[in-house]
A and B are shown apart, each in its own frame.
Chain A
Amino acid sequence: QQQVKQSPQSLIVQKGGISIINCAYENTAFDYFPWYQQFPGKGPALLIAIRPDVSEKKEGRFTISFNKSAKQFSLHIMDSQPGDSATYFCAASTGDSWGKLQFGAGTQVVVTP
């Protein structure tokens, strides 16, 4: 079964709007939570990552919010741009898992002009 559940499957946002993608997990041993961005026909690229000792991390227009008690984390894309149109994946791994990432199913984001 999927260890990381991601929603929504897809979303459409207007230019300048906020895109929000949510992920939930069950394994409390997860201690590393990255987000990847993937363009069609390309490999995923790391966007931003967080560890459970902080509740929020911001890099430019991208912010991860982390709620340890709820076992949820989310990606916020502020001031969304057409160039942000891509598929976004959340993932998680434990410290003793040899770096094996468990991926969510992905969210296709379309930013309209």
Chain B
Amino acid sequence: DGGITQSPKYLFRKEGQNVTLSCEQNLNHDAMYWYRQDPGQGLRLIYYSQIVNDFQKGDIAEGYSVSREKKESFPLTVTSAQKNPTAFYLCASRSGATDTQYFGPGTRLTVL
């Protein structure tokens, strides 16, 4: 069953803590992306990666970090430097053949 998995579905964080969101895909896609979604807004790009061991900042990278050590995995760390981290986080991967981005089910992060 191919697709993108994100875990956990819900995550609660105390102020000052770093948290890591997991994203795994078995679609054999090279490109992967992290987006942030806030109520009433579209998706905003945090980081993206075109290939293993390479990644680039998106439009709102401040306070976030990523790694891409394996093709299948693209974890996102929300650091304590992110001032307003409460949001819905979406991971995606892209088919190089069709340009279609496939999204995971998302992780809802709440800062307590």
Contacts and interface: CB of A to CB of B under 8 A. Distances in A.
Interface of A: 2, 4, 6, 9, 32, 34, 36, 41-46, 49, 89, 91, 93, 98-101, 103-106
Nearest to B99: A32
B105 A99 contact: no
Given A4-B42, A43-B6, A43-B92, 16 more contacts: A32-B99, A36-B103, A41-B108, A42-B105, A43-B4, A43-B105, A44-B90, A91-B42, A98-B31, A99-B31, A100-B45, A100-B58, A101-B43, A101-B45, A101-B101, A106-B42
A45 B42 contact: no
Contacts of A41: 106, 108
Contacts of B100: 34, 46, 49
A107 to B, nearest CB: 10
Question: Main secondary structure on chain B at its contact with chain A?
Answer: strand
Interface size bucket, B side?
A: 20 to 34
Nearest to A104: B42
B63 interface: no
A34 B101 CA distance: 9
Nearest to B44: A103
B101 A46 contact: yes
Return the 9 tightest CB-CB contacts between A and B, nearest first.
A103-B42, A43-B103, A103-B43, A99-B94, A105-B42, A44-B103, A43-B105, A43-B106, A32-B99
B21 to A, nearest CB: 13
Nearest to A42: B105
Nearest to A45: B103
Interface string B77-100: 000000000000010101000011
B41 A98 contact: no
Nearest to B106: A43
A44 B103 CA distance: 6
Contact of A98 (B4, B43, B48, B90): B48
